[in-house]
Amino acid sequence: MVDILYNAVMKPLAFRNFCLGAVLCLLASFAAADELRVGATTVDITPQLPVSLDGQMALRVASKIETPLEANVLVLESLSPQNTSVWVTCDIVTIPTELLDLIRKAVRARLPRFNTRNIMVNASHTHTGGVVRANWYPEPDSIVKVTDYQHFIAEKVAEGIENAWKTREKCTVSWGIGYAKVAYNRRARYEDGTARMYGKTDGDDFRKIEGYEDQSINTLFFWNPQGALKATCINVASPAQIVESRYTVNADYWHPLREILRKEHHPSLVILGWVGAAGDQTPRPMYEHSAEARMLRLRYGEPGQGNDFRTDVYLKEIARRIAECVNDTYRVVQKEKHENVTLAHQVLDLNLPMRPVKEEEVVEARKMQEEDLADPIRATQMKRRIAWQQEVIDRFEMQKTIPNPKYPVEIHVIRLGDIAIASNPFELFTEYGVQMKARSKSLQTFVVQLVGPGTYLPTRYAEEGGHYSAIVQSVRVGPEGGQLLVDKTVEQINRFWP
């Protein structure tokens, strides 16, 4: 069992050159302000049908494509000293380590001397994209194979990076911040101290929304030599999961948002969707459902679906809020375009303490797993949930031989002019992102989550409350590791602003 866990979780990351503790990657060096060259492309990563969808416990097979899925690619280069930084956003639920490896390998095949270490790939966290995690769900013969889809994405993204690299040109950049109501903390707390993700809030035992919401939208704009908008990076602290339960392929709110922005600016505008620290957030309201639903009905003249916000109308509404914020920021900051900026990109390999599995937790995991396995239909449908429990059991066994196991993560810390970009592989609870932003010396700090395989990283308070997203099954790294992640990230950001 320990081997299974090691192969599933640790090995893909372990073969890289990391040591115990934080190790600074020296491939990228600190650079002075310099002319910026930028290449940008969009590639289509819509899977063929029928395809299984990633993000829920049960297998969902889509037979309809509602929107295309995209990977948006930005390549940045400064010349003296030569520095590159590559940012890729994919309309998928997460970035498994094997997918990142495939992307880097495919890029090396096309651009042999390219620094693939500085490729940062994030997921928009749409729950209606193709499955990208091998062995995660049952794979009927009739559907697209996960490994085939991984290779497809890797090739398309590599093609996008190659095109962006070859078409890079001298560009200017601006940064700005605005606000839009998109993040709703999805964890409700109750009188007895328990928490529930998407829990009811209209009962008399409801006490509070568990944590903070970050409504800031950090934005980057890149202009080509003719002064036209070429690309934008939009950092929203809320995942793209409005229509998360559908059996269709859908890029969620990023699709209508891209439609609005491309209509307004340029049909080929490259738009990177960066999800901020939002492990405890959702784009859907947790209370005042009727008031929100009425405003939607009046605004769009469509009947809607009562208080269900998993609708096309609500996708439009969230896209509208973000687009208005982005356009407002655009109008303000376009007067401050930067030609010469510092570009620096550091990749850190950290070993974060894993969240220990307690004996009572493994007992519970075994019990729940047995319940699923006892019913042959559930045993097939709930393969993911069974594996989810199995991982807890394996971790518990592993702890017997490795008492303080570590979880290796790759994080990217980038300086571009006055702003910092800091990645992490988790569904990071917002509080950690706020800590990074508050302690960072940069003017703005873009926190990008799911630059990697995911798993929630809850706060201590959330752990006390329990429930999905804060229980041991949902979590590989806990609050102790979360604090270390914050401290190391801030340390690196602030090194860029000595």
Chain contacts with another protein (rule: CB under 8 A)? 176-181, 185, 201-204, 206-209, 211-213, 215-216, 218, 286-288, 290-292, 294-295, 298-299, 321, 329, 332-333, 335-336, 431, 434-435, 437-439, 443-445, 459, 487
Cα Rg for the chain, rounded, in angstroms? 22
Which amino acid is it at 244?
Answer: E
Provide, rounded to whole angstroms, the least separation between the CB of residue 238 and another protein.
Answer: 13
CB of 389 to another protein, least distance (A): 31
Rounded to a whole number of angstroms, the minimum distance from the CB of residue 123 to another protein is: 25
Q: How far is the CB of 237 from another protein (least distance, A)?
A: 12
Cβ-based nearer residue to another protein, 219 or 241: 219
Least Å distance, CB 42 to another protein, is 28
Could you report how far apart the first and last alpha carbons of the chain are, in Å? 47
Amino acid present at 430: T
Q: Which is nearer to another protein, 211 or 283 (CB)?
A: 211
Q: What's CA 183's distance to the chain center, in Å?
A: 14
Please identify, using beta-carbon distances, which residue of 6 and 206 lies nearer to another protein.
206
**Closer Cβ to another protein, 52 or 440, answer by number:** 440
Pairing of strands 270-275, 229-236: parallel
Residue number, 206 or 247, with CB nearest to another protein: 206
Pairing of strands 456-457, 427-428: parallel
Decide whether 174 or 455 has the Cβ nearer to another protein: 174
Q: How far is the CB of 257 from another protein (least distance, A)?
A: 17
Write down the least CB distance from residue 424 to another protein, Å: 17
Assigned token pair, 25: 């990657």
* Complex with another protein: residue 170 or 294, whichever CB lies closer: 294
Q: d(Cα 177, Cα 126) in Å, to the nearest integer?
A: 24
Nearer to another protein, 337 or 366 (CB): 337
**Cα–Cα distance list, 84 to 23, 36, 178 (Å):** 20, 10, 28
**Rounded (10°) CA dihedral 425, 208, 435, 234:** 60
Shortest distance (Å) from residue 401 CB to another protein: 32
How far is it, in rounded angstroms, from Cα 81 to Cα 34? 9
Q: Cβ(393)–Cβ(359) under 8 Å?
A: no
CB 354 within 8 A of CB 5: no
Closest CA to 144 of 40, 69, 230: 69
**Which of 390, 324, 397 is CA-nearest to residue 359?**
397
Measured from the CB atom, is 36 or 286 closer to another protein? 286
Reading the block at residue 133, the tokens are 């995690």
Q: How far apart are CA 302 and CA 248, in angstroms?
A: 22
Q: Which is nearer to another protein, 38 or 286 (CB)?
A: 286
Burial 344-363 (b: 16+ CB within 10 A, else e): bbbbbbbbbbbbebeeebbe
Nearer to another protein, 395 or 467 (CB): 467
> Contact 40/231 with Cβ under 8 angstroms?
yes
**Residue tagged 């049952």 (tokens):** 138
- Nearest approach, Cβ of residue 490 and another protein (Å): 8
d(CA 34, CA 108) in angstroms, rounded, equals: 26
CB 69 within 8 A of CB 51: no
